[in-house]
Amino acid sequence: MNCLIFGYGYMGKIRYEVLHKHRDVRSVKIIDPGIDPSTAGLDGVMLPANAEIPWDQFDATFVCTPNYVTSDLCIEGLRHCGRVFCEKPPGRNWEEFCRIAEAAATVGDHTLVFGFNHRLHPSIQAMKALLGDGGLGEVLYVKGTYGKSGGVRYRENWRNDREMSGGGILLDQGIHMLDVFQFLVGPLEVVNAVRLITGITKAREAEAACRRRCHSTSLPKRRMSRPHTEYLTGRRRRWHIRRAAPRTKCRSICPHPVRRPAGPPFHRWSARKVLGLWHPK
């Protein structure tokens, strides 16, 4: 397979390293107008940004760019390769996502994947295993807090430019939590959402409330400089999973009793028995 990567930033470098070592990948090329091939040590790998793309040479496209070009590159990749992997979010707004979906519908045999990888995190898999017969019982509500500091140069970063990013922390990182909630309890519909701008850091904060069709409620909250946490409450017990970062193993899985009539006996440390995730540090 021959692959083309758009964007050689943080995620683009990760995709390049993985693809470069994959046994089924014959070649990897990169397009990034902001990178000098000579200084990046990528002679022969970088394609000229202003030249016509030789689409017939590629079998798959990886889009690792700022949000304002995501939809256009996804559409181009679908039309020429039919196989596209794109980092989240899928565009800056609903209209851009619909454009991608409409383009995908016109391609008969295609593959379109977005980078919602948090559902594969061991702690989330442990949460999923606890639902229903796993001991937690029926889900009553889900609550999450998740954010990031942004870094020293966040003010100048494209993520802090709404025209380029499309939104704040809810679109950037909160979209991961919304995907996790839907993975756990099924499709959600938005009930209420609030967008705020803090006076100290000028960082956008957001809160959103959603509900499932069976009327259980999820309350995702995204703020800056908070740890990644999820609360999953069922009829028998409440669980708190705290993660230090998306790619680290879960630090703790702490059960909290729910003040409801007790159901069948449920082992206090079932979660660590499910996937062996207990880390006492």
Structure tokens belonging to residue 57: 């040479």
Residues 261 and 165 grouped into a single domain: yes
What is the band of 14 on the pLDDT scale with cuts at 50, 70, 90? very high
pLDDT digits (tens, 9 = 90+) for 236-256: 555 555 554 444 333 333 333
Cα–Cα distance measured from residue 179 to residue 117, given in angstroms and rounded to the nearest whole number: 9
Looking at 47, 81, 114, the residue that finishes a domain is 114
Cα–Cα distance measured from residue 195 to residue 242, given in angstroms and rounded to the nearest whole number: 25
Sheet harboring 188-197: ordered strands across?
188-197, 204-212, 217-222, 139-145, 228-234, 237-243, 252-257
Q: In this model, does residue 72 exceed pLDDT 60?
A: yes
What is the band of 66 on the pLDDT scale with cuts at 50, 70, 90? very high
Residues 168 and 187 grouped into a single domain: yes
Residues 202 and 220 grouped into a single domain: yes
Query: Which residues, including other chains, have CB under 8 Å from residue 169's CB and lie 6 or more apart?
Result: 147, 148, 203, 204, 205, 206, 222, 223, 224
Strand segments (E) across 104-164: 111-114, 139-145
Cα–Cα distance measured from residue 166 to residue 164, given in angstroms and rounded to the nearest whole number: 6
Q: In this model, does residue 206 exceed pLDDT 80?
A: no
Asked if the structure places residue 280 within a domain, the reply is no
Q: Taking Cα atoms as reference points, which of 218, 252, 259 lies closest to residue 236?
A: 259
- Residue 99 pLDDT: 95
Residues 6 and 68 grouped into a single domain: yes
Asked if the structure places residue 281 within a domain, the reply is no
What is the band of 222 on the pLDDT scale with cuts at 50, 70, 90? very low
Looking at 62, 90, 114, the residue that finishes a domain is 114
**What are the Cα distances from residue 240, in Å, to 96, 229, 249, 257?**
35, 7, 15, 11
Q: In this model, does residue 87 exceed pLDDT 80?
A: yes
Residues 234 and 122 grouped into a single domain: yes
Per-residue burial over 84-118, b = 16 or more CB atoms within 10 Å of its CB, e = otherwise: bbbbbbbbbeeebbebbeebbeebeebebebbbeb
The total domain count for the chain is 2
**What's 83's domain CATH number?**
3.40.50.720
Q: In this model, does residue 262 exceed pLDDT 90?
A: no
Residues 188 and 92 grouped into a single domain: no
Residues 96 and 194 grouped into a single domain: no
Mean of pLDDT values over 28-57: 87
Cα–Cα distance measured from residue 241 to residue 232, given in angstroms and rounded to the nearest whole number: 8
Asked if the structure places residue 103 within a domain, the reply is yes
Looking at 114, 133, 150, the residue that finishes a domain is 114
- Read off the DSSP letter of residue 170: I
- Residue 241 pLDDT: 53
pLDDT digits (tens, 9 = 90+) for 95-128: 999 999 999 999 989 999 999 998 888 888 988 8
- Domain range for 246 is 118-275
Beta bridge partners of 188: 212
Highest mean pLDDT of the ranges 110-124, 189-203, 266-280: 110-124
- Residue 115 pLDDT: 93
- Residue 190 pLDDT: 78
